[in-house]
Structures are given as C-alpha cells and as structure tokens.
Structure 1
Amino acid sequence: MTARTGLVWDARWEVVSGIGRFSREVRTRLAIPTLEAGGAAPVSPRGLLDLELAALRERRGGRAHPPRALVCPGFMAPLAWPAPTAVVVHDLMHRDVPGEAGRARRAYLDTVVRRSVRAAAVVLTVSDHSRDRILEWSGVAADRVVTVGNGVGPAFTPQGPRRAEDRPYLLYVGNHKPHKNLPRMLEAFARVPGRPLLLLSGDPAPAVDGPARALGVAGRLRFLGRPDDGALAAAYRGAAATLVLSTHEGFGLPALESMACATPVLASPVTSLPEVVGDAGLLADPLDVGSMTEGMTRLLTDDTLRARLATAGAARAAAFTWERVAARVADAVAAHLGAAPPGGWPDVPHP
C-alpha cells in the first residue's frame, strides 16, 4: 500500500520491561522516528499530559504538513491525536487478575483505555489469547485486532557462557505480582528432594521472603538483580529448568528465552503459555502444588527428558524472531494506517 502520511512512535515505554523490549526491538528494526513527548513515565499524570500536549503540537503542525500517524506500544494513545493510531495491548492482566490493580485502575482501563482502543485504526497484540480477550472486552471489529507475537534476542542461544552454582538450580525470571503464583511455586520447590537452589531475577521482596522463610527454603534462594541479556542467557543455560508457573500471562517471554537457550521449561497450561511452549515444554497445573513439585523433580533428575525438551525447545524458539514481529507490525500499520517511516519501510523478513 502506498503511504499517505508519515509515522512516529512513542518510545517513552523503552524501559526495563516486556513492553519496553517489544518497543525497542520493533521500532529500531523499522527505523520509525520517535515522538517528542517529554521524559516522564508514560502512565504518570505528567506523562499522560505530555502525550496530549504532543497531540496538540501535531495538530498545529498539520497546517504546514500532514499530521503523522502514531504507534503507541503501551496500550494508550491520545484521544485527540489528529491522524490514525495503532495501539499495542499486550494483555488485560490488570483487568482480569484479582489483586493486579485497584478499583481506580480498572475503572481507568474500562473507560479511558477502552476508548483509546476503540478509536485506534488497528490494535496490535502478542498472542491469540490476548487477542480473544481484547475483542471480548473492547467490542472492536475482529479485523482491527492483529496478533504480531514476540521475538527472542540474539543473546539467547544454546552456545555461550553458563552460570555455575555449587549444586543444580531452577530459574525463575519475572516480577513478584500475584499472577506469577510465587507462593505456590515456592511451596512446590520446598517439597523437591535433593535441596536444589532456586535463582530468581530481581531483588529480595516480601512476596518472596515471607513464604520462603516460612517454608524453610530462604537459604536456597539466590537473587540475580537486573541482569543484562548476556548474564541472563548464562543463567538460563546453567539452569536445570526455567519455571513459568503463572496463573495468567499475555505471552510469557521467559519461556521463549529459556527454550532459545536450550533449557527446558516447566510451564502452566493456561492463557497464552501453550501458544509459546507448544509440545516443547513440560506442563504443570499452577494451582496444584503436587503437580508442580513432580515437574520440578522430573526436570532435575531425568536427563533423557531434559535433553529431549532442550532440543525441541530450541527448534521451536527459532521461529520467534524480532524480524518476523517487525514485519507483521509493518504490514498491519501500512494496511490500517496508510503510513510509513521516512524513506519507506526497510526490508525485513516476512513470516
């Protein structure tokens, strides 16, 4: 499709988070200019005001040149933007999971964010599970919500340094929010024989420390802080398995990164995770402590199973590239917004 207008991207989301990684990986591959909208956090009061002020400037600039279309990678576009918008909604976690958000935030999602989604020319998301929920929640026409997926970065490969500990370890990568199911996961870990270690990204926090002390496993936990991609890949490679035992996910990027490093995954068979893991991981009921304990024990002791899943996981992860995600985003934006970056779309491999 011939582009009718220019294109700009709200890059304020590019911090350490899943949204930030998606934004950075896709925007840089598509060479889309960034929106000038101040440096405040996008969802802070100042950040929301900055976005509306950017919309006002874009409207005034339209007297000299056509307003540019806008891609917002973090679910919220300004309602007053004077050209078509694309909004990325990774999931509806704050809407669907008890304890993830208070009443005020849920009301904000159901009013302001839903209006932004309905006003967008196209809504992009990362899994078919999220797409189904967005369609149900928003009432947007099915052809305006497009699954583009997620990718895995070049640091995550089977080859490379491996983290070493004084005994086998399991790995958890993620935050400490309720949907991550950490209390049950820790209870299951406490029942695993052999006293393995559990390595966790981030720093000690009450959501982990309290249950770990009560279960008597605090001395077998190690915290990684915020490792860069190289250190995180080394932690994946050294692990007996990665645990992704959430009760809800919009995608599940740690499962993909672990498989790309040829490390088996123990995952929940819920929401988006079956789309990511397929038959290349071991599944356990996230509400059944015994099921999770059994899965952890098998992956620590069954070398044949671990080798089979390592091979299957690496093969499956190879299909999830950021180039393919960027190509799907470019196709959706060109089709629904009629827009392109300066100089046109770069040559990215299509799925």
Structure 2
Amino acid sequence: MDVFNRVRVGINAVPILSPLTGVGQYTYRLITELQQILPNKPWLFYGTSWDRAIRTAAPAGARELNKAIKRLMPHPHVITRLLKQARFSTGVRRHKINLYHEPAYLAYPFKGPSIVTVHDLSWIRHPETHPLERLREMNRFMPKAVENATHIVVDSDFVRREVMTHYGVHGDRVTTVLLGVAPEFQPQPAEVCKPVLEKFELTHGQYLLAVGTLEPRKNLSTVIAAFEQLPEPLRRRFPLVIVGMRGWGMERFSEGLRHMISRGEVRLPGYVDQAELPALYAGARLFVYPSLYEGFGLPPLEAMACGVPVIASRRASLPEVVGHAGILVEPLDDSAIAGHMRALIEDDAMHASLGQAGLNRARNFTWRKFALETVAVYKKVLAHVD
C-alpha cells in the first residue's frame, strides 16, 4: 500500500444518504472496506459538504434546499448538479484530492485520475422502465462521464461487454469487479429469526420472498402471476412477501394485487431496514428474482448466502452470480416459475440440495475481495499518472 501513502481518494457518498438500494449498498461497502484498507481514509462528498466519517442521512437544510429547487426552478436536475459541482470542486482543492472514484455513474468534472463505476445500462436497454426525468439526466451527462473517466469499473462481465459495445470503450479501460455479500447473510435457525419474523407476522420456512424496488424492470408482476397459479392451500400456507420501496410504475400491477393482499396471501411490507434483511432471507422457503435486466443482482447472492434456494432470471448478469447453484428461468415465463416454486415447496430433498449449492457458491463473493480488486484498479490508474 506504499503507493497510497500520498494518495488522497475522494468518493461521491451521496448514494448512502438515501435508503440503501443497489448503488447505495455498493457505495457503503466500498467506503467501509477502504477505510480499513487504505492508509489514508477516503474523503467523502455528501453533495453539500465533505467528510471522512460515514453519514446515513443528509442534513435537513440540504433536503429542504433540494425540495425548493425541484418545486420552484426550471430544469431542477441541471441546477442541482451545478450547485453540487461547485461544492465538489471546492472540496477537491481544500482536501487535495488526487484520485476520484464515482460509484454512481455521473462523475463530476475532475482534473486528475478518475474511476467511474457503471452498474448497468438499463436506461439505454430498457428506457421504458425509467421515468422521463431520469432518462434525460443519464443521456445528458453519461457519455461525457464515460469519455472523461481514466478507468471504468463494472459489476459483471455482462456490463463490461455492454459498456464496450455501446460507448466504444477499449477493453483496457474497463475492469470487472464482482460484488460481495456481507457476513450477516448466513443460515439462521428459527429461534434467531423469530424476533424479526414476528414483526412481519411470518413463520420460519413458510413464506416465499422477493426483494427489489417495486418498479417494472424488477418484473415483480411476473412473480405475482406465478404465485397466483399455485393452489390456494399453498398460497395460504406460504404467502408471498415482496420487500422493497415503491418505485416508478407501480400502477401497472398494483390493482391486480388487491384480492391476494386482502386475503393475506401477498404481503408488501415496503422498505425493510438493512438489519432485518438477513433474518427475512434466512427464514424464507425460497427466493425468486426474475429481473429483466441487472448489472449484478445482490439479492439472489444474499439469499444464497443464507442457504435459501433461488429462482432467478437467466438474462443479463444473473447467470454470473447464480451460476449452477440456482434455478435460472426465462423471466416472463410465469408458468415455469410457478412450477419451480411448487417444486421447492413440496420437494424437501431438492430444496436442501439447492440451498447447499447456493451456500457454497456465495462463499466466493466477499466485500473484502471486492475492495482489494477495486484498489488494484486504483493502483493501475496511478501507475500511468506522470
């Protein structure tokens, strides 16, 4: 780590200020690991200020300012970005940042070596799954962010191919660094899970689980359609629990949920605190994740680490994560998904075998390994700096 004795790394930490979805989780794990690995703790940019400490919420003043800009100003995303850029540049000079890592796509202009993480190209491949404002922002800023980056980090070989093909980036500038799974995701007996499961009125081993923001790209409507095909006695005994924030496009399938929700067959607890997720995974009979497009897919990895059998889409990056340790399906084939659900409910031997296979595979993914491979990218970038 001698090369880092004089390096002052700056990271955009804004993603960890909101509830931790995929990019937020990535950013949080990156920061916590780098704080232990690097001789100089990284400087963290929080949109309006810099710090070396991890924060979990934006200052109330910053939140109110953002709301006011969105309410009163034309082109609020552009104005907000210009304000953040000014604060970013001021902090770079003050703290003498000489290596910048942007973990959330849209890097700020920076005079020095920079790394940009591109998690996926979903706004390009599936624009119908994004709100219009998000599309405009990504299409406006992303080409320049890719062009200006010294190096690009991606979550999977699938995304690496996507970036190289779409942006014409040479392979020498793009490195795959697979994500990790935290140690708290592990098999847990019923008595350990009980406090969390009681809160959600669930019984260990007697519910099906899906995790993801409730938006079209996650394809949870197919999960619901598959679940509806199960015999009613199974649906009542093994309710479907969908954990995640309400995202954009919920109106497309929320109406179809009403009758199953009213009977308690489908549960929508909303966003669940990170501390409660391991128990919810470990207590599930199975986990289903037929996402249409993922740059990596943390939830199926977390489920496998808990010894829970996984049904996942065979599209995009998910085969890289699940491998042969889960059931890979066509994501829109609700009949096939229903058949696999029923098999994993009724066949204990199959259930045990698949759970163990997932557990074995998950051991290959750690956040420390992820961080060390990211640091190796930093070294590569610094080696080419005069």
TM-score, normalised via structure 1 length:
0.87
User: Is 1:200 matched with 2:238?
Assistant: no
Tell me which of 101, 120, 128 is aligned to 1:71: 101
- From 156, 159, 175, the equivalent of 1:127 is 156
Partner of 1:26: 30
Instruction: Tell me the amino acid that sits aligned with residue 184 of structure 1.
Output: T
Partner of 1:12: 14
Distance 1:29 1:60, change over 3 A: closer
1:69 touches 1:339 (CA, 8 Å); kept in 2?
no
Q: Which has the higher contact order (CA 8 A, sep 6+)?
A: 1
> One-letter code of the match for 1:69?
L
Q: Percent identity?
A: 32
Q: Which runs of 5+ in 1 are unaligned?
A: 341-351
Pick aligned residue for 1:189 from 227, 237, 245: 227
Cα–Cα, structure 1 residues 60 and 175, in superposed 2: closer, same or farther, change >3 Å? closer
CA 1:286/1:23 → structure 2, altered by over 3 Å: closer, same or farther?
same
Deviations, residues 196-224 of structure 1 (Å, cap 9, x unaligned)? 30011136764553122367876311223
1:52 counterpart = 2:85: yes
Structure (1/2) with the larger helix percentage: 2
Distance 1:158 1:339 in 2: 44
Partner in structure 1 of residue 270 of structure 2 = 225
Aligned residue-pair number: 336
Q: What residue is the counterpart of 1:117 in the other structure? A: 146
Partner amino acid, structure 2, of 1:335? K
Which residue number in structure 2 is paired with residue 254 of structure 1?
Answer: 299
State the SS of the aligned residue for 2:212.
Answer: coil
1:27 alignment partner AA? I
Q: For residue 241 of structure 2, what is the amino acid of its counterpart?
A: L
- CA–CA separation in structure 1 for the residues paired with 2:159 and 2:80: 26
Task: Verify: 1:316 aligned to 2:316, yes or no.
Answer: no
Q: 1:30, 1:206 → 2: CA distance?
A: 40
1:173 match: 211
Distance 1:86 1:133 in 2: 17
Offset at residue 44 of structure 1 (A): 4.4
Measure the CA separation in 2 of the matches of 1:256 and 1:71.
25
Q: Separation in 1 of the partners of 2:177 and 2:211?
A: 23
| Residue 346 (structure 2) aligns with | 301
C-alpha displacement at 1:124, in angstroms? 0.9
Q: How does 1:322-337 map to 2 (within 5 A)?
A: 322-337=367-382
SS where residue 179 of structure 2 aligns?
A: coil
TM-score by length of 2: 0.79
User: By how many angstroms is 1:104 displaced?
Assistant: 5.6
